[in-house]
Chains A and B, each alone.
Chain A
């Protein structure tokens, strides 16, 4: 045997035989146990009966025989006794097979310890990854709702800016009470000549179209000339120049505005008719502020406002009528005709001018 000296061979054999608790069965062609030997007691197999079917006595042999691929090896099979064996099937004479048991209990236990650690580690890592993914998707959802919130906020902000000048909106958000004196501003009123009568004859849809056209134009021109549209009252619009930031040319800015607004009205036709406006301007000190705290309204108060409204009411169709105070603030670029002194209700005699195109 491999040319080893007899003592060495013998020593190896004894060592292996004892270390691995070698036991064997011989199984015949009828799949019955023909012989047994070696350390069968080690595996708790002493009671196996020869001449009886092997599969009835050893559960794990069920279905294995006849085995077309010999030798056949199964590692680390735990037997009912608790011992773990490497099983080897190999051919014997007369269509019999040998079934060899080699103890692998210690090896199995060692490997189990290592594998236990490794799998537990892997499971922990998998769990950690799952939790991280969950965390990430939660964060994602949080980010999305924050973005939604910030979109809502911006919408509210935009809405607020649509009804209030930006600087006023800013101060309002800081919970400030707003009531400002402005020494030098110009105030304009404009309305549509014969609006009430026309509204009756053209119907609701056209009426709405007229107002929409007029007020949109008033908004656009406000941006263009740096004025503030304060409010609309029926078919009347109120515009101011010189606030919230003071400007020395407030009268001229509003004069430009008035001329342009009148042109805009002339350009469009509704039911075949142009929009004819009546416009009045006056300049002087006012108080500006916000009233209400649920539905905000930025408004102007004072005699200047009242007089501007009266002047507008007294204007002829297509006329831009300005007070003497506004007249004195306008440069030579603006042609105007004197209207002389006129009696205005509640104010007495007032000197006024007509702004020419």
Chain B
């Protein structure tokens, strides 16, 4: 059995819990409910040659990055970095969290999600900035936990990366 621990990382209220709920249970709630500590979910991703069980660690998104407890990430093989596309500052938060995790546990595969793509009129991340990150070879998705757009794709991509 192929079982992989994946950590959801990002600032508060970017949609980590909603993305996990959309991916695991195919539901979305408009109500914002903050996460304290960690909630763990599991979802199987099937490929033609194998099936990967993703153990998803939905970590609390801290207001203050300094208080983030890196120790939760121990044993993880991949990261889902989540950015709120309507709040530009959350990009820096996601990238900083990744740096802190890599400093502790070394580099690991990740996907970068610009979430809330349904809020087109409040979108605040320039296309050029996203393209620049793509140039680095990063796997980037413009997701919507509300509509489900690209959520499955992003998790499948990460599953294929960690299963190698």
Interface residues of A (CB under 8 A from B): 55-56, 59-60, 62-65, 67, 72-80, 84, 104, 108, 111-112, 115-116, 118-120, 122-123, 126, 130
* A–B Cβ pairs within 8 angstroms, 16 of them: A59-B40, A60-B55, A60-B57, A62-B3, A62-B55, A62-B75, A63-B77, A64-B75, A67-B74, A72-B71, A73-B71, A74-B72, A76-B37, A115-B34, A119-B63, A122-B12
In the complex, the answer to whether A55 meets B3 with C-beta atoms within 8 Å is yes
B33 at the interface (CB under 8 A from A): yes
Map CB proximity to A onto B17-38 as digits: 1 under 8 Å, 0 otherwise. 0000000000000001110111
User: Of the candidates A63, A77, A120, which one forms a contact with B32 in the assembled complex, judged by CB atoms under 8 Å apart?
Assistant: A120
* Minimum CB distance partner of A126 in chain B: B87
Rounded to whole angstroms, the CA-CA distance of A115 and B35 in the bound complex is 9
Q: Please judge, given known A-B contacts A74-B71, A119-B12, A119-B63, whether A63 and B34 are in contact too, CB under 8 Å.
A: no
In the complex, the answer to whether A76 meets B36 with C-beta atoms within 8 Å is yes
Q: Please judge, given known A-B contacts A60-B55, A63-B76, A67-B74, whether A77 and B63 are in contact too, CB under 8 Å.
A: no
In the complex, the answer to whether A78 meets B37 with C-beta atoms within 8 Å is yes
In the complex, the answer to whether B3 meets A78 with C-beta atoms within 8 Å is no
In the complex, the answer to whether A122 meets B75 with C-beta atoms within 8 Å is no
B100 at the interface (CB under 8 A from A): no
A57 nearest CB across to chain B (Å)? 12
Given known contacts A62-B75, A63-B74, A77-B37, what 13 new A-B pairs fall within 8 Å (CB)?
A55-B3, A56-B1, A59-B42, A60-B57, A63-B75, A74-B71, A76-B37, A79-B40, A108-B36, A112-B34, A119-B12, A130-B86, A130-B122
In the complex, the answer to whether A118 meets B63 with C-beta atoms within 8 Å is yes
Rounded to whole angstroms, the CA-CA distance of A59 and B41 in the bound complex is 8
Residues of B near A78 (CB, < 8 A) are 37-40
B4 at the interface (CB under 8 A from A): yes
Rounded to whole angstroms, the CA-CA distance of A108 and B71 in the bound complex is 18
Q: Please judge, given known A-B contacts A60-B40, A73-B71, A75-B37, whether A122 and B63 are in contact too, CB under 8 Å.
A: yes
Rounded to whole angstroms, the CA-CA distance of A77 and B41 in the bound complex is 11
A131 nearest CB across to chain B (Å)? 10
Rounded to whole angstroms, the CA-CA distance of A72 and B86 in the bound complex is 37
Q: Please judge, given known A-B contacts A118-B63, A130-B124, whether A62 and B34 are in contact too, CB under 8 Å.
A: no
How many residue pairs at the A-B interface have CB separations less than 8 Å? 74
Segment 84-104 of B: residues with Cβ below 8 Å from A = 86-87
Residues of A near B156 (CB, < 8 A) are none
Residues of B near A64 (CB, < 8 A) are 74-75
How many chain B residues touch A (Cβ–Cβ < 8 Å)? Answer: 29
User: 4 closest A-B pairs (Cβ-Cβ)?
Assistant: A63-B75, A76-B37, A63-B5, A78-B39
B79 nearest CB across to chain A (Å)? 13
Residues of A near B36 (CB, < 8 A) are 76, 108, 111-112, 115
B134 at the interface (CB under 8 A from A): no
A53 nearest CB across to chain B (Å)? 10
Rounded to whole angstroms, the CA-CA distance of A104 and B38 in the bound complex is 12
Residues of B near A104 (CB, < 8 A) are 37
User: Of the candidates A63, A77, A118, which one forms a contact with B38 in the assembled complex, judged by CB atoms under 8 Å apart?
Assistant: A77
* Minimum CB distance partner of B69 in chain A: A75
Rounded to whole angstroms, the CA-CA distance of A41 and B32 in the bound complex is 32
B41 nearest CB across to chain A (Å)? 8
* Minimum CB distance partner of A108 in chain B: B36
B38 nearest CB across to chain A (Å)? 5
* Minimum CB distance partner of A64 in chain B: B75
B60 nearest CB across to chain A (Å)? 8
* Minimum CB distance partner of A86 in chain B: B37
Rounded to whole angstroms, the CA-CA distance of A65 and B5 in the bound complex is 12
Rounded to whole angstroms, the CA-CA distance of A74 and B37 in the bound complex is 9
Rounded to whole angstroms, the CA-CA distance of A60 and B75 in the bound complex is 10
B13 at the interface (CB under 8 A from A): yes
Residues of B near A59 (CB, < 8 A) are 3, 40, 42, 55
Map CB proximity to A onto B115-154 as digits: 1 under 8 Å, 0 otherwise. 0000000101000000000000000000000000000000
Residues of B near A77 (CB, < 8 A) are 37-38, 40
Residues of B near A126 (CB, < 8 A) are 87
* Minimum CB distance partner of B124 in chain A: A130
Query: Which of B12, B40, B57 has its CB near the most chain A CB atoms (within 10 A)?
Result: B40
* Minimum CB distance partner of A115 in chain B: B34
Residues of B near A120 (CB, < 8 A) are 32
Residues of A near B77 (CB, < 8 A) are 63
Residues of A near B1 (CB, < 8 A) are 56
Residues of A near B74 (CB, < 8 A) are 63-64, 67, 72
Residues of B near A80 (CB, < 8 A) are 40
Query: Which of B39, B42, B87, B124 has its CB near the most chain A CB atoms (within 10 A)?
Result: B39
